[in-house]
């Protein structure tokens, strides 16, 4: 059963600048994943039900390093332009804020500084019908209802 404090933090391990020529384990994305993992292992497990996963590629190559926060019934947030040397603690801080939020939306001014301008997207959860949804541009493929929502 999902809890409101459940959070999945995905970190792209392949992220690198276009001119990077080092080995895979030297890539900035790999180093960011290591830094986040190191800090997360020392975190209080009762604070947030955190799942951390390294992802081989998150297809945001023009904006490395990339992380995503997701949870059941919450918006998924995607961030780029992160620094492996300095941003791991702030990423985990945002994960705690995200866990505490009702819909997964953490206002820009409330986020750690490194996560204010690097947002790449926010994707609503399946079945979202909140105030950000535009009913005029909603369609259900369930033709028996014949509804445009």
Q: Count of CB atoms within 10 A of residue 7's CB?
A: 24
Cα 68 to Cα 16, 119, 127, 137, distances in angstroms: 16, 10, 20, 26
Which residue did the predictor score with more confidence, 103 or 48?
103
Residue 146 has pLDDT above 70, yes or no: no
Q: What is the dihedral of CA 58, 109, 71, 142, to 10 degrees?
A: -90
pLDDT above 90 coverage of the chain, percent: 64
Instruction: Say if pTM beats, i.e. exceeds, 0.85.
Output: yes
Of 19, 20, 111, 120, nearest in space to 68 by CA: 120
How far apart, in whole angstroms, are the C-alpha atoms of residue 41 and residue 147?
Answer: 48
- Tens digits of residue pLDDT in 12-59: 999 898 888 888 889 999 999 999 999 999 877 777 899 999 999 999
Of 130, 134, 137, 80, nearest in space to 101 by CA: 130
Cβ–Cβ < 8 Å for 95, 7: yes
pLDDT at 138: 76
Residue 147 structure tokens: 């509804």
């Amino acid at each position: 059963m999902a809890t409101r404090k459940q959070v999945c933090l995905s970190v792209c391990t392949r992220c690198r600048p276009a001119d990077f020529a080092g080995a895979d384990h030297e890539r900035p994305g790999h180093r960011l994943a290591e830094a986040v993992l190191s800090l997360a292992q020392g975190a209080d497990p009762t604070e947030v039900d955190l799942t951390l996963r390294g992802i081989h590629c998150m297809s945001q190559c023009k904006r490395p390093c990339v992380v995503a926060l997701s949870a059941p019934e919450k918006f998924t947030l995607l961030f780029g332009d992160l620094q492996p040397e300095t941003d791991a603690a702030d990423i985990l801080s945002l994960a705690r804020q995200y866990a505490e939020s009702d819909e997964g939306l953490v206002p820009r001014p409330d986020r750690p500084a490194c996560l204010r301008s690097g947002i790449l997207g926010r994707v609503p959860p399946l079945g979202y019908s909140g105030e950000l949804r535009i009913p005029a541009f909603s369609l259900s493929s369930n033709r028996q209802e014949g509804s445009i929502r």
